[in-house]
Structure 1
Amino acid sequence: MNRLNSLALFVLLLSALIYGIIEWRSASIEQDTLIVDEQRPDFIAEQLESKIYSDLGQLSHTIEAERMEHYSDLEVSYFELPNYTLYPQKEGQPWKVSAQEATLYKDNRVELKNQVHIKATEIDGLIKEIHCKTIALDLKTNIISSEQSVVVVGRDFTMYGSGLIIDLNTKKMTLIQHERTIYKKHDES
């Protein structure tokens, strides 16, 4: 009988151990699921198109994006393939800004990342387009800034440098560190 009792006790302990491991694993999975649920966006928009107006009723900017995820707890929105059109506060032609991704913060500051392209729509403007990796855009003031390397393509030149500040309202651009400029030669025929 001792052997039979020992075997029964062993099976009981083994069953209790297996049950404990199963309960511990399921509790761990539930905790992981809870963490993932907290990171879920409050809403998702596909093929987003939005127009934002100033307090005076003037068109401030538009945004188009393949996808937008809004997280109210974090007070941010994430965009995939965003295209902004920025209108100067007074007069002037709009500027177009695109990137692979962007993050909009509650203070109307946007960080655009990966293949950032800024394009002037003014036909006779000196600056045609700007390329860089990342920029910060303040939607309240229409000021764009970057600490990264930039390429500025103008009417007859291409300028390379790093660090950039652009005030879209005054059309004033400051290149912090100039590396080189390549001028196009005009054909005189």
Structure 2
Amino acid sequence: MNPRRLLTWVLLVAAIASGWSVWRGLRPQAQAAADLRPDYVLRDYQIVALDRQGRESFTLTGPLLQRAPVSRALTLVTPQFLIPDAQGHYWDMRSERGEVPADDSRVELRDQVVAVSPPQTPPPTRIETASLTIDLNRKLARSSAEVVITRPGLTMRGKGLEADLAHQQVSLLSQVRTRYVPQH
């Protein structure tokens, strides 16, 4: 056999083998990309969740909600949670993003989290932090990040927070600094 013809066949077989290898390598990537794609998406949504007694547990609104097919976690873009206290007045909680794990036991708000107490329940309270975890069943909020709490004439800063949203009780956990300016 001609050495040129033999070299042509060897190169042809090598090209087919490498093409097949590349094609097989792309299939897992295509499957992985399909796994990353949400199995459902809600746009401009409002969800009202009820507790076991049929009372409103919370209302969630936002422009975008996606569910991951593998973890079944919900990803939220600029969510707003309205969480009623014991008198039925609403805490207004917002952030840049959020996540709800598959077990629906909590909400994790991240980036520019702002929580405002019900206006009907004095004193008006505003909480700002980078992250906040809310136990929706017990209506408790926690954070390990830096927190700023403002009320009329009062600013408190600290690290860590525990809040009982149903009873309007908010506590800073450590490194607390307070500034009080009397109102005239």
TM-score norm. by structure 2 comes to 0.93
Q: Where does structure 1 differ by over 6 angstroms across 4 or more consecutive aligned residues?
A: none
- Name the aligned partner's letter for residue 104 of structure 1: V
Aligned to 1:86: 83
Structure 2 residue 81 is the aligned partner of structure 1 residue 98: no
* CA apart distance, 1:33: 0.5
Cα distance between partner residues in 2 of 1:92 and 1:61 = 11
1:20 to 17, 20, 31: 17
Structure 1: tracts of 5 or more residues without a match: none
AA of the residue aligned to 1:57: G
Offset of 1:31 from its aligned partner? 1.3
**Partner amino acid, structure 1, of 2:165:** L
Residue aligning to 2:138: 141
Superposition CA RMSD, Å: 1.5
1:6 aligns with 2:9: no
Q: Does 1:126 align with 2:97?
A: no
Question: Identity of paired residues, percent?
Answer: 20
State the alpha-carbon separation in 2 of the partners of residues 73 and 36 from structure 1: 12
Q: CA–CA distance in 2 between the matches of 1:112 and 1:138?
A: 11
Aligned to 1:49: 46
Task: Indicate the larger mover: 78-87 or 26-35.
Answer: 26-35
The answer to whether the 8 Å contact 1:49/1:62 transfers is yes
TM-score normalized by the length of structure 1: 0.90
Distance 1:155 1:92, change over 3 A: farther
Aligned pairs, how many?
183
1:185 Cα deviation from its structure 2 partner:
3.6
- Which residue, 149, 153, 157 being the options, matches 1:152? 149
